[in-house]
Amino acid sequence: MKKIAIIGCGISGLYFANQLQNNELYDYTIYEKKNELNLKDGYGIQLSVNSIKLLNEIGFKNILANEIFFPKMVNFFDAKNCKKICEINISKFNNENNRYATLKRSVLIKFLLSNIPQEKIKNNIELKSIENGEKLKLSLSNNSIEEFDYLVVSDGVFSKTNSIILGKNNDPQFFNSIALRGNIRNINNNDISLYLGSNFHFVIYPVNQNNEYNFISIVRKKLNKDVVLDQNFFISSEFLQSLSKEIYRKTSFDLNGKLENIKSFPVYVSKKFKTFKKKNIYFVGDALFAFPPSFAQGASQSIEAAKDLYEEINNNTNSYYEKRIVKIKEVNRRSKLNYFAFHLSNPFLIFIRNLMLKILVKNNKFLDIYLGKIYRD
């Protein structure tokens, strides 16, 4: 029996553990630095068909109907005047069993945890060092040393394990953007609404069948390094109010008094793709690569990568990184292009963008290449 250590109890690590759970060839342990996971978080995520298909393989289709929403359209609006630009029918990429979905991240985490025995998860433990020999010797923060055959690194964009293995030059970079997210009330919307503004955009969508909605805005903003590293700055009421008012001023959409549970955080992305020559150490999820948040593929790509990694280990192949780098490049290009197009401020360029959007959303061949290639693969 092969022993696998999983560092991090997020989406990618838990999905990978779900794959291992019913395979008697493997024993695994998940190490999570937090004392407990936040299962009350009401913030939303989007899951496209590529990940829904993989989740359904482990029973996701049995999730309570009122805890998930299946939007059919993405509606594009000009944030300044709230005029509709165009729409994309994302349901065209669905099939009978797998549909584009939105839900609370905590609901997905709860589902993934439901299939994992509690004793498999060791909380409040971090990796301190690794000795790579015939077996991997992991020195842990509880002063124990454990031996494993494989190490799966899934502890997020700020992966400490990443730094232990690859060094600090692989740290993520600030994307000159701030995310403001929260819950929004007093609206009636059955689809995904995307508002494009000058150096910012925001998205609103339902997260369940109970009239609960997610709000997230990405605001282009340069900050000096000291400010970016100051976590207290982003949670201060003064900054949250300032950022909220900045968004309110730039849109005619009435957000005032509608946002709740507001949080902000700096957006970090990966500088480069991470690989490791040793075949028994793997990166997955945001620890592998963190995308700009403008293509709604972060969670879906984490699930895809975890599935690819399971097949790599189970079939004893050597194509995981080669396969992932192709998909990562495709998603990253689209994410950066979307970010650029969403945040245009020049009136002429905005006019051209809106015109092109109206044309391209009617071009099925383009949609199949730009979206279908990612959603279906």
pLDDT one-digit tens code per residue, 138-147: 999 999 999 9
State whether the Cα torsion 242-244-250-256 is positive or negative. Answer: negative
- pLDDT given at position 273: 80
pLDDT at 274 over 80: no
Q: Of 168, 164, 171, nearest to 136 (Cα)? A: 164
Is residue 372 one of the residues assigned to a domain? Answer: no
Contacts by residues 371-376 (CB-CB < 8 Å, ≥ 24 positions apart): 371/88, 371/90, 371/93, 372/93, 373/330, 374/48, 374/50, 374/295, 374/297, 374/327, 374/330, 374/331, 374/334, 375/48, 375/49, 375/50, 375/93, 375/100, 376/49, 376/50, 376/93
pLDDT at 188 over 90: no
Cα–Cα distances in angstroms (integers) from residue 187 to residues 16, 116, 198, 212, in the given order:
37, 37, 23, 9
Is residue 159 one of the residues assigned to a domain? Answer: yes
Domain of residue 167, residue span? 2-67+105-171+270-341
Which whole number is the average pLDDT over 202-222? 96
Which whole number is the average pLDDT over 188-201? 95
Burial 226-264 (b: 16+ CB within 10 A, else e): eebeeeeebeeeebbeebbebbeebbebebeebbeebeb
Q: What percent of the chain has pLDDT over 90?
A: 85
- 288 — pLDDT class (breaks 50, 70, 90): very high
Which whole number is the average pLDDT over 338-347? 98
Taking only the tens place, the pLDDT of each residue in 74-109 is 999 999 999 999 999 999 999 988 999 999 999 999
Is residue 178 one of the residues assigned to a domain? Answer: no
Taking only the tens place, the pLDDT of each residue in 5-47 is 999 999 999 999 999 998 999 999 999 999 988 887 879 999 9
Please state the domain count of the chain: 1
- 376 — pLDDT class (breaks 50, 70, 90): confident
Is residue 238 one of the residues assigned to a domain? Answer: no
Is residue 374 one of the residues assigned to a domain? Answer: no
Q: pTM for the complete prediction?
A: 0.95
- pLDDT given at position 324: 94
Residue 167 near residue 311, CB atoms below 8 Å? no
- pLDDT given at position 169: 67
Is residue 322 one of the residues assigned to a domain? Answer: yes
Is residue 296 one of the residues assigned to a domain? Answer: yes
- Considering the chain, what is the average pLDDT of its residues? 94
- pLDDT given at position 272: 83
**Strand pairing category for 145-148 and 150-153:** unpaired
- pLDDT given at position 307: 98
Q: What is the CATH number of the domain that holds 7?
A: 3.50.50.60
Is residue 206 one of the residues assigned to a domain? Answer: no
